[in-house]
Chains A and B, each alone.
Chain A
Amino acid sequence: DVKVTQSSRYLVKRTGEKVFLECVQDMDHENMFWYRQDPGLGLRLIYFSYDVKMKEKGDIPEGYSVSREKKERFSLILESASTNQTSMYLCASSPLVGPKNTEAFFGQGTRLTVV
């Protein structure tokens, strides 16, 4: 079974802190994604990566950065956490890109609260 593991289920951080959210997948998928999920807004894409050291901005990249040094690991970084970044963060991976896009596999989510 594909497994996508996020480093924390719940996280509480202070305003201004630098926050690292880690995601690891074990199926050698090329693509990895970071979403945030807020009530009534569905999933919004922050960043995605289709290869090691490659990254593309999604719909809401402001205030975030990412790192993909190894194929299995995709990190989301909040450079200076703010209260409006309080949200559920979801990591996902998928094996293909483009018109043959197949299913995405999700981690269990990290509920981040910034106080």
Chain B
Amino acid sequence: SQQGEEDPQALSIQEGENATMNCSYKTSINNLQWYRQNSGRGLVHLILIRSNEREKHSGRLRVTLDTSKKSSSLLITASRAADTASYFCATDVDSNYQLIWGAGTKLIIKP
């Protein structure tokens, strides 16, 4: 079953600009994670934010979580060509130890 929905489905920006992706979910969660997938490869974990946290930073990444709106955003600042990838959110649903995945946002950074 799919819970997370990323928005937009695709995003194309110039190198150096900031990129913002959003994730909405339906049920209560323990945590929310963001992953990156380079074309045709496996996924790489970026950041995990717990349900009692509102904001988290890791290098050029900033993640926010609004549990009242059941949404999260991933901000990549000063984008680089190497950031070109698909980005997925995954939620750890309460009472269920599976990760529930969204369909992803495809980010293209133009040089």
Q: Closest chain A residue to B3 by CB distance?
A: A42
Interface size on A, residues (CB 8 A): 30
Given contacts A43-B101, A99-B92, A109 and B41 within 8 Å (CB-CB): yes
Q: Which of B14-22, B43-51, B57-65, B66-74 participates in binding chain A?
A: B43-51
Interface centre among A35, A44, A103 (most CB of B within 10 A): A103
From B40, B45, B92, A105 is in contact (CB under 8 Å) with B45
A42 and B103 contact, CB distance less than 8 A: yes
Q: Which residues of A contact B45 (CB under 8 A)?
A: 103-105
Minimum distance in angstroms from A11 CB to a CB of chain B = 14
Interface mask (A37-61 → B, CB under 8 Å = 1, otherwise 0) = 0001111110010100000001100
Docked CA distance A50–B4 (Å): 24
Interface mask (A58-75 → B, CB under 8 Å = 1, otherwise 0) = 110000000000000000
A104 and B42 contact, CB distance less than 8 A: no
Given contacts A42-B2, A58-B98, A101 and B92 within 8 Å (CB-CB): yes
Q: Is A90's beta carbon under 8 Å from chain B? A: yes
Q: Closest chain B residue to A59 by CB distance?
A: B1
Given contacts A42-B102, A45-B99, A103-B33, 8 further A-B contacts (CB under 8 A): A4-B42, A42-B2, A42-B103, A90-B42, A99-B92, A104-B33, A104-B43, A107-B42
